[in-house]
């Protein structure tokens, strides 16, 4: 039976690198994969999953209107899809996570979704919340805070490096906008602004 996996972590933990390695493993064995990434993430090239260490692969972009199940079903009817991989899974809507579960349950195709668990305020993203509820397997990818403890939080910073506690949930950025911290240092940064 195929499973729905949710690989989650803070920023800069290697989620995209892990996804691209999994994709490579399938393709190296001659198996077809389908890659998806959020259309809102335009840090690198649109429609590309890119890791900080320089790996990249083309992907189908999704937004809230994308019917992921229909795209996978159409491709799977033409050639067997061995695995579906989703980057930036926190940007999925709940309906799309339900579609990922359908792909695993009905088509028998494993789905590996990679994303953030929480935003810069420590609140769950819609996609992450639904994945936490539905995934067959929850896998935490570890990252490290500057203090050496496990980083679980994503601190948003402004242009001067000060903590940002308010604003839109989604603001695309990398090391220039976010710092992965342990819960203790995240709380201290927000209190000290």
Residues paired with 69 in a beta bridge: none
Q: Please give the model's pTM, rounded to 2 decimal places.
A: 0.90
Binding residue numbers: 9-16, 87-90, 145, 147, 182, 185
Phi, psi values for residue 165, rounded to 5°: -110, -10
Lowest mean pLDDT among 32-41, 133-142, 166-175: 166-175
Q: Is the pLDDT of residue 172 over 80?
A: no
Structure tokens at 37: 């990434």
DSSP state of 24: H
Residues in the chain: 193
Identify the structural domains of the chain with CATH numbers, from first to last. Answer: 4-142 (3.40.50.300)
Q: What is the mean pLDDT of residues 117-143?
A: 95
Binding residue numbers for Zn(2+): 145, 147, 182, 185
176-189 pLDDT, tens digit each:
678 999 999 998 98
- Going from the C-alpha of 182 to that of each of 91, 147, 155, the distances in angstroms are 23, 8, 10
Segment (H or E) for 191: helix 183-192
41-94 pLDDT, tens digit each:
666 677 778 787 888 889 999 999 999 999 999 999 999 999 999 999 999 999
Choose among 95, 109, 107, 81: nearest CA to 5. 109
Catalytic residues: 88
Give the contacts of 163 (CB within 8 A, at least 6 positions apart). Answer: 155, 156, 157, 189, 190, 192, 193
Q: Give the pLDDT confidence score for residue 162 in this predicted structure.
A: 84
Cα-Cα-Cα-Cα torsion 115, 154, 49, 43, nearest 10 degrees, comes to 140
Lowest mean pLDDT among 65-74, 97-106, 166-175: 166-175
Q: Give the pLDDT confidence score for residue 170 in this predicted structure.
A: 63
């Amino acid at each position: 039976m195929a499973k729905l996996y949710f690989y989650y972590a803070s920023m800069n933990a290697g989620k995209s690198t892990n996804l691209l390695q999994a994709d490579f493993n399938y393709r190296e064995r001659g198996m077809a994969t389908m890659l998806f990434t959020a259309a809102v993430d335009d840090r690198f090239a649109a429609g590309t999953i890119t890791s900080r260490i320089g790996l990249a692969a083309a992907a189908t972009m999704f937004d809230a209107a994308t019917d992921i199940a229909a795209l996978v079903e159409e491709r799977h009817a033409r050639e067997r899809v061995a695995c579906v991989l989703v980057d930036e899974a926190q940007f999925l809507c709940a309906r799309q996570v339900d579609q990922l579960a359908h792909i695993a349950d009905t088509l028998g195709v494993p789905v590996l979704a990679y994303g953030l668990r929480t935003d810069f305020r420590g609140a769950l993203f819609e996609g992450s919340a639904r994945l936490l509820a539905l995934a067959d397997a929850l896998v935490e990818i570890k990252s490290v805070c500057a203090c050496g403890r496990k980083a679980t939080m994503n601190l948003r910073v402004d242009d001067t490096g000060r903590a940002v506690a308010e604003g839109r949930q989604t603001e695309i950025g990398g090391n220039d906008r976010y710092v992965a911290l342990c819960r203790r240092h995240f709380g201290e940064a927000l209190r000290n602004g």
